[in-house]
Amino acid sequence: MKARGWRAWLLSVLAMMVVVGGLTTARVEAGAPFFKMYLMIPNNQPPRMVWGTLAAQQMTKIGIDVVSSYVPWTVIIPRRIKGEGKTHVDGGWDAYLERYYYNSILPIPNTLFHSSTVPPYGTNYYYLEDPVIDKALDDYASALSEAKHMEASNRFAKRWYDTQPMVILFYPEDVVAVNPKLKGFDSTTFNPVFFPRPENWIIEGAGDNATAAFASWAPPEQLIPMNSTGYNQSNIFGPVHDTLLEYENWQTKKLVPALCESYSMSPDGKRWVLKLRQGVKWHSGEEFTARDVKFTWDVILDKRYASIRQAIMQNVFGSPAAYKVTGKYEITVDLPKYTILFRDFVMAALAIMPEHAYKDIKPESLSGHTVSTWLGTYTVKTSEGKEYTARGSIGTGPWIAMGHDPTKKAYKMVKNLNYWKKTSGNVKTFYVVNIQGADAVLSALKVGEIDAHDPMYGVESLASTIDPKWGTVLKFDSFKWQHICFNLRHPVFGTGKETPLGKQDPSRAAEAAAYVRQAISFAMPREQMVKEIVAGAGQPGTVPIPFSAPEYDHNMLKPIPYDLELAKKSMEKAGYKY
């Protein structure tokens, strides 16, 4: 394994692409580049570093001067959240590579691509502000019938396909390696609704008091669910918390009751009455009630807490007046209009937080509090006058936070023996450990330091090096995509104002920007990326809808060809001359 480290593998793949695919680093056209793009490539996934390098090389072939940098997410995230749409040189960003998904199994593009969800209170980091897409997403969210739902989905997909707001490179397959003695590892990770489920893991031969460890590459920035931005966070806070509804398993992807035992919906989809599960206890011993649900929604809607879910919650509820506690275990919701976001996002993706434990923490203090860092302790008083010493987040979930050891880069949890749901595993102590690098994580698996890892390590091209004696290779449909993200306020490929066509005719600036993005899309050798970089573990990409989702129209969404001549023609439509 050490002899074939990922750095050596990266270089060998790049060399192979030059020989086999004819992809070179030299510019095809000798003239000066048309414009400069700063491309940030996350350094936490070796294969992505390869196709990011390849993507940059391909863009130079159509006249774009690409300045690439390999950086951690701690560099990318502040730029995209606080950049206000500014370009890279002004403190924002131009483009970066990302592996992304929706926060629910049902595709909900509204959370990422509706113009109402731009930062700082939303997750439309790309500043996609397209009225045609907005209208399709509004119709998609409000569709009560399956036919209208699919029609709106297709409108969104067609608009995306035609204008390429971002370039979807491919739909990856998640490949992970696990301890051969580990049974019950039956899903990939999918922030924030799928994460390690060690309560159902069985370590063969470990008795009734087993310890398990799961590797996650990047350290979390914070561990407050309403501010979650990635797997590195939900891998840790996920096992501690519960949502109102949850997914039965990765295979069925069916929503089933969790903290909400049942619900009813009026014929027009506006009124919902939620019946909450009785007898559930927070880790502190306090009883879970409807007040906790109201508290969670109130906090997310309150801009003082700066939740990245605020904008989408605002779209769903309008205001806190839309919901009220109508019983100790009942909450009634009157939505301004029906939206699929209520069930599939609010109920299925948002972890519920404890009012009694968090209500006295000031908004400005929450992100640095033990609740978020898992460092140190704090005391919580229950309604019965008892005191509970917490070492991290407090949830109702199957695992209790026991703190963070910065030296060992480990987050510890112990099994919640009072969990409301029966579990089948023998693991009683669980660690999430931060390990950087595919080589390092497989070495840790080999010597028994971990039992499984997050798919973000990108081990698919190293799977053949894994000996079945110490590692079992598992593959999952990821329900995600890899794409080149564009800052759509950039004056060239965002607004188009600085393109030749945009300068000549400002009314066609947006059209010109779309031509540039289409050119970049045509310049991407998607099939080669899948075949040679990820060992065939994926499908070429088109639009941000999972390839295996019912919403993906395979008849309409034909593969985007790799064609440099078409790419140059698109650049010429934007006014550039070779």
437-449 average pLDDT score:
96
Beta-strand pair 387-390/95-100: unpaired
Indicate the residue type of 10: L
Residue 241 sits at φ, ψ, to 5 deg, of: -110, 170
**pLDDT band (50, 70, 90) for residue 39:** very high
* pLDDT number for residue 24: 37
Contact 43, 71 (CB under 8 A): yes
Rg (CA), the chain: 24
DSSP annotation of 547: T
| 313 token code pair | 């919650």
pLDDT over 90, % of the chain? 88
Q: Does the pLDDT at position 236 exceed 50?
A: yes
In angstroms, rounded to a whole number, what is the distance separating the alpha carbons of residues 196 and 194? 7
Query: What pLDDT, in 10s, does the model give residues 240-268?
Result: 999 999 999 999 999 999 999 999 999 99
Q: Does the pLDDT at position 431 exceed 50?
A: yes
98-112 average pLDDT score:
92
Query: What pLDDT, in 10s, does the model give residues 371-427?
Result: 999 999 999 999 999 999 999 999 999 999 999 999 999 999 999 999 999 999 999
* pLDDT number for residue 26: 36
Chain centroid to CA 278: how far? 32
Query: What pLDDT, in 10s, does the model give residues 318-346?
Result: 999 999 999 999 999 999 999 999 999 99
Burial of 279 (0-12, 13-18, 19+ CB in 10 A): exposed
Count of residues in the chain? 578
What does the mean pLDDT of the chain come to? 93
In the chain, DSSP finds a helix count (H) and a strand count (E) of 18, 22
Dihedral sign of CA atoms 257, 263, 268, 270 in order: negative
* pLDDT number for residue 83: 79
Question: Comparing 18-27, 168-177, 195-204, which segment has the lowest mean pLDDT?
Answer: 18-27
Indicate the residue type of 512: A
pLDDT over 70, % of the chain? 95
* pLDDT number for residue 461: 86
| 212 token code pair | 């398990």
